[in-house]
Amino acid sequence: MEKIKVAHIITRFDKGGSSENTFLTVVGLDKEKYDVILIKGLSLESEMGVREARSVKDNLTEVERCRIRTLTIPELVRKISLLHDLKTFISLIKIFLKEKPHIVHTHTSKAGILGRWAAFFALIPVIVHTPHGHVFWGYFGRCKTTFYIILEKLTACITDKIIALTQQEKNDHLHFRIAPEDRFSVVHSGVDLDKFFNTSVNPAAMKKRLEIPEGNLVVGTVGRLTPIKGHRYLIEAAGKNLDVRPDTTFVFLGDGELLGELKNMATKLGVKENVKFLGWRDDVAEVMSVFDIFVLPSLNEGMGRVLVEAMALGKPVVASDVGGIPDLVVDCKNGYLVPVGDVETLVAKIKELLDDPGKMEEMGKCGKKIAVDYSANAMVQKIDQLYHELLRGKDITI
């Protein structure tokens, strides 16, 4: 029996949200029905530490165990480089001509542009793209942003379906007229919820391991330390919050290029002793279990998979009212939405929750119920259905 051959392409295969989404998709597709190829870059730009690199290696081992072929294109990098991009483009065309996949599914901006055009010139029947957010604001200046919008519009013309992670992400693409509405589908990014629903940790013991003072409340966030994640606003909020709630520890879980800058900022604001940078860890669920509040102060966010993880652990959320976040955080139900970069409101909402344990518990329970709808299995089933619909639309029966 012939299988559906699908090639997934992503620039960086690290432990970010887009990579985890791609990993869960390629692993989750039924291998009795699908022949899956994963094409990726070297991910050197991620500057992964030892622990993250080890976890990525585990993911690749699982990919191999699931009989998924992996092809690495060294020139596939996030930064624009005419030479590297041309080499990547040619390599992709060669791969597609040799493998003849029925479907090419690209992920993120760079892989999305190069991969879709390579698939078009290689006459691939079905082309699918998942942006995992967008670069329409928060990343670049006006001229560069306009260039990307034009490029996305042109590339959307050769794309059969664009998968938005949330309704808001779809709305943002429609606002910039990237493509007609019928070109979009909304498929929430799936999360492996088992380890979050079933985490069993002794909070006192974990706090001791993390050197968090006994009795302190914990406000935490998880994510790569890059400008778009807005961590500096949480550092500022920590400075103001500790004036009224000195019994609070702020925890940053993740690595990134801003680590030194954020540490210096904490020192200058005099909150160094109450702010902990734990780097990237493979026991994320266990560490997050001691958070009293989860905060996501992003400037832009496709969906925020980590929000689902926090909600699965029963944590109330304070997050930016931007991108796909409002699809997950219902204001005053399972958390609070705050304007992007509004430190005063961020401080007020954090303090309001810290001062009201009952509200924290109520919001946490509400979030836990919402998280159930974002399982990895649900995501894979929707993508499987979408693939079959697109193939039928091209009169391809397998």
Q: What is the arithmetic mean of pLDDT over 368-397?
A: 93
* Average pLDDT score, the chain: 92
* pLDDT of 348: 96
**Structure confidence at residue 138 (pLDDT):** 57
Q: Which of 247, 239, 245 is nearest to 212 (CA)?
A: 247
Cβ–Cβ < 8 Å for 7, 105: yes
Other CB atoms within 10 A of residue 309 CB: 22
Per-residue model confidence (pLDDT) at position 45? 62
Percent of the chain with pLDDT over 70: 97
pTM of the prediction? 0.79
Q: What is the predicted pLDDT for the residue at 46?
A: 61
Give yes or no for residue 204 having a pLDDT over 70. yes
User: Which range among 31-40, 79-88, 183-192, 239-248 has the greatest average pLDDT?
Assistant: 31-40
Q: Most distant CA pair in the chain: distance in Å?
A: 67
Lowest mean pLDDT among 130-144, 155-169, 230-244, 266-280: 130-144
Checking if the pLDDT of 2 tops 70, the result is yes
Three-point CA angle 227, 15, 333, nearest 5° = 70
Is residue 337 classed as helix, strand or coil in its secondary structure?
Answer: strand
- Which residues are CB-neighbours of 58 under 8 A, at least 6 positions away? none
> Cβ–Cβ contacts within 10 Å for residue 384, how many?
17
Domain boundaries, given as residue ranges, for the chain: 4-190+375-393, 194-373
pLDDT at 134 over 80: no
Give the pLDDT score at 246: 92
Give the least confident one: 25-39, 183-197, 336-350. 183-197
Q: Is the per-residue pLDDT at 137 higher than 70?
A: no
Homologous superfamily of 4-190+375-393 in CATH?
Answer: Glycogen Phosphorylase B; (3.40.50.2000)
pLDDT tens per residue, range 356-372: 999 999 999 999 999 98
Q: What would the pLDDT profile of 31-42 be if each residue is shown by its tens digit?
A: 999 999 999 998
- Whether 4-190+375-393 shares its CATH topology with 194-373 is answered yes
**Tens digit of each residue's pLDDT (9 = 90 or more) over 284-314:** 999 999 999 999 999 988 788 899 999 999 9
Q: In whole angstroms, how far apart are CA 209 and each of 23, 102, 121, 379, 393?
A: 31, 50, 55, 35, 56
Is the separation of the CB atoms in 18 and 8 below 8 Å?
Answer: no
**What CATH code would you report for 194-373?**
3.40.50.2000
User: What is the pLDDT, as a whole number, of residue 369?
Assistant: 93
- For 277-287, how does the pLDDT look when each residue is reduced to its tens digit (9 = 90+)? 999 888 899 99
Q: What is the average per-residue pLDDT within 116-128?
A: 98
